[in-house]
Amino acid sequence: MLPESLSETPHRRYNPLTGEWVLVSPHRAKRPWLGQVEKMPPLNLPAYDPTCYLCPGNSRAAGKVNPAYTSTYVFDNDFPALLLPQSVSSLSGSWGQPDLGSQEEGLFAAQAVAGICRVVCFSPRHDLTLPELSQAQVEAVVQTWTDQTRELGSQDFIQYVQVFENKGETMGCSNPHPHSQIWATSQIPNEPAKEIAHLLEYQRQHQSCLLCDYLRLERERGERIVTSNQHFTALVPFWAVWPFEIMLVAHRHAASLTDLHEDEQASLADILRRITARYDNLFEVSFPYSMGFHQAPTDDLPHTECHLHAHYYPPLLRSATVRKFMVGYEMLGMPQRDLTPETAAARLRSLSETHYSQSTLS
């Protein structure tokens, strides 16, 4: 169990996945709040919106029209952040690794990056988020993420497939129709690259998997566990930065979505519904977050160090209208939190996994 002193006095906690620290100040949790209160978006969305470019049968950019889809729907992003190799190969320095030891290249390094950006609509319903979909519908989402990871990762120029979801206006989501995105890139992005480096170093030192060992200890202690099922555990990590951050970890040492068995895919769908239902029930609001899977790169290396997991980064702090911002010391020094991960986990653990009824809200 956590030493009593860590629940009362300021301290910092180490994140072994990234090598970074977070400052925890539990004594500040009792201070009064006089900061900004955010207005939340309305909850009364229609099942179909004729003006939504993600709804079935509606028009998108450049005259493209969505089919009358009835399950998940995937399309190439009309305004992608990445382009195919033939469109970016003219960048000076081409695809080679910049010589960071060179004074000039080290100070002005640039490297061409190609990729594919896709959008995954969860269902034709404009008004139903993941916890409000059926088990079968969420399983279809998981299967789509898996199929897309396999398809995109099989392309020679792709090294990493990042599946992620931004939910809510506060997280920059430009359309309320429930959807996720997939960015497949010719380079491994910063965050998974940091984790892979630390996972690999841990494997070299201990001849075991960092996340296998960490999950075993967390399940033994139980104080930061939020929910679990046969194949996955959701917990507030010991080093959490965001107030109600969750890390979702596969029980088996699977490296990627494509490594999951059929029963594990069903368990993943189940726990995704459990997590998001608890989030929505916390403040009885459609809970905003950014979520994404970290999995093995799709290059030719074995990546036995990689262990499939997902991160949830939600911004809400004290209520549906009070957000956590990274400002001041957190931007210039290091992340800081008042609410301890143990307290956050206890609050999330106490909530029902049956989604609240929006019709009961005033």
The reply to whether 179 belongs to the active site is yes
How many C-beta neighbours within 10 Å does residue 57 have? Answer: 12
- C-alpha distance from residue 45 to each of 21, 49, 67 (Å): 40, 8, 21
CA pair distance 112, 92, nearest whole angstrom: 8
Give me the catalytic one of 27, 126, 177, 179: 179
Using a 10 angstrom Cβ sphere, with 0-12 exposed, 13-18 middle and 19 or more buried, the burial of residue 86 is exposed
What residue has token string 């006095």? 9
What residue has token string 């695809």? 95
Six-digit token string for 354? 């049956």
CA pair distance 13, 17, nearest whole angstrom: 12
CA pair distance 355, 41, nearest whole angstrom: 18
Q: How many CA atoms lie within 13 A of 124 on its CB side?
A: 11
CA pair distance 288, 221, nearest whole angstrom: 29
20-24 vs 336-337, strand pairing mode: parallel
What residue has token string 């996340």? 211
The candidate with the shortest Cα–Cα distance to 218, out of 106, 309, 291, is: 309
Q: Who's near 87: CB < 8 A, 6+ residues apart? A: 114
**Residues designated as active site:** 179
